[in-house]
Amino acid sequence: MESCDITAGRLHLKQYLSPRSSFLNPTTNFLPSTFLTAKTKTRYSLASLNLQNHFSFTQSSVRPDSSTMRRESATDISTTLSTDTFELANICWDDLGFGLVETDYMYLMKCSSDGTFSNGELVQFGNIELSPSSGVLNYGQGLFEGLKAYRKKDGSILMFRPEENALRMRMGAERMCMPAPTVDQFVEAVKLTVLKNKRWVPPAGKGSLYIRPLLMGSGAVLGLAPAPEYTFLIYVSPVGNYFKEGLAPINLVVENEFHRATPGGTGGVKTIGNYASVLKAQSAAKAKGYSDVLYLDSSHKKYLEEVSSCNVFIVKDRKITTPGIKGTILPGITRKSIIDVARKQGFQVEERLIPVEELLEADEVFCTGTAVVVSPVGSVTYLGKRVTYGDNGVGVVSQQLYSSLTSLQMGLMEDTMGWTVALN
């Protein structure tokens, strides 16, 4: 079996077994107090390892059957987090992609019929029960958010602009006839969920902890109407790059038959149905070798809107332009942050209608989003014509903005914008 370096802060373990092997205690999924290496058959104890950060290792069960799920209220968690010990998750951090890795805990909070959310609780990660007649399953009454937490080199954890996600969820909830947690409830729930899963936050430079808050109509409803009950849920997963290319150019195709959103619809909020509707065009594009799809407006079929799950920017000289927010485009938090960073660095930034012809004449094109941060575009194909940018490398502006924003998110530079939230 392949060896894997597992690094977090200055904790270094060298193991010669796969992450899911019998090397782990089968009932706890954690390291036993002593173990044999596969190569040398030599017995080691945890105390003999070089734990330069003096992390504590404890044994406790993870991911039991949902019928034995242990629940902890937010109050219980907040009084114990300061004394909790943790061990680093036994995965190969260098192999992280953008896929689900099941972690230890998720957060649940219910909304009563009067629109008031109760005190939430942390439960062990697992399946949830829903009525077959729930509003989210029958009528798509649901929203989600996405944000990230990063581990700094000193081992502490930073979140990026969680209050913006809370505000966007509240805006979307109003459009979808749903009650929503307050900003304080949202941010506190995210903090608790991250801290309870802190062993899953990747080491500095190895990725991030992706945080997925969900708001859904969980109450049963047969006729078309708002659900009588709502559930707010948060789960997390360590992730690497969204696109397999990483910070390397992606190749887009402009879609002129299918449309992501229409005026007066829900394209401007993060409702779940917006994403299922792009899968057909996206799948067809990927089958032809493209990375993703760039959509045009549905009225004129000539103005840029966005990529399947990203906002788009074009660069011409020292001017950066992005489609304006007009109800069919999601107001991305990374988009908003990049605009502020670019203006601070002296770029002229415009938010307006962008004819597809300007895309074809741009010096650079890049996408932004929570998952991708900044993703440079190497080529765009429109009506069979392929246009490349630069020498098919990462553009100067894309690289500059990516480096600036990720350095801020990861705590590598002073946060003069007041955007990061320290958890410990």
SS3 of the chain:
CCCEEEEECCEEEEECCCCCCCCCCCCCCCCCCEEECCCCCCEEEHHHCCECCCCCCCCCCCCCCHHHCCEEEHHHHHHHHHHCCCCCCCCCHHHCCCCCCCCCEEEEEEECCCCCECCCEEEECCCCCCCCCEHHHHHCCEEECCEEEEECCCCCEEEECHHHHHHHHHHHHHHCCCCCCCHHHHHHHHHHHHHHCHHHCCCCCCCEEEEEEEEEECCECCCCCCCCCEEEEEEEEEECCCCCCCCCCEEEEEECCCCCCCCCCCCCCCECHHHHCCHHHHHHHHHCCCCEEEEECCCCCCEEEEECCEEEEEEECCEEEEECCCCCCCCCHHHHHHHHHHHHCCCEEEEECCEHHHHHCCCEEEEEECCCEEEEEEEEEECCEEEECCCCCCCHHHHHHHHHHHHHHCCCCCCCCCCEEECC
Mark whether 270 is an active-site residue. Answer: yes
Residue 171 has pLDDT above 70, yes or no: yes
Please report the pLDDT score of residue 151 as a whole number.
Answer: 95
Residue 375 has pLDDT above 60, yes or no: yes
Domains in the chain, please, with CATH?
93-240 (3.30.470.10), 250-413 (3.20.10.10)
Q: What is the mean pLDDT of residues 233-256?
A: 88
Residue 424 pLDDT class (50, 70, 90 cuts): confident
Distance of CA 278 to the CA centre of its chain: 18
Q: Could you read off the pLDDT of 99-135 as tens digits, one per residue?
A: 999 999 999 999 977 888 988 999 999 999 999 999 9
Percent of the chain with pLDDT over 70: 79
Please report the pLDDT score of residue 393 as a whole number.
Answer: 75
Residue 383 pLDDT class (50, 70, 90 cuts): very high
User: Could you count the other beta carbons within 10 Å of the beta carbon of residue 202?
Assistant: 23
Task: Find the catalytic residue in 39, 270, 280, 286.
Answer: 270
Residue 70 pLDDT class (50, 70, 90 cuts): low
Residue 371 has pLDDT above 60, yes or no: yes
Q: Could you read off the pLDDT of 255-298 as tens digits, one per residue?
A: 999 999 999 999 999 999 999 999 999 999 999 999 999 999 99
Residue 72 pLDDT class (50, 70, 90 cuts): low
Residue 71 pLDDT class (50, 70, 90 cuts): low
Q: Could you read off the pLDDT of 5-33 as tens digits, one per residue?
A: 333 333 333 332 333 333 333 333 333 33
Please report the pLDDT score of residue 390 as a whole number.
Answer: 80
Helices 396-409 and 333-344 meet at what angle, rounded to 10? 110
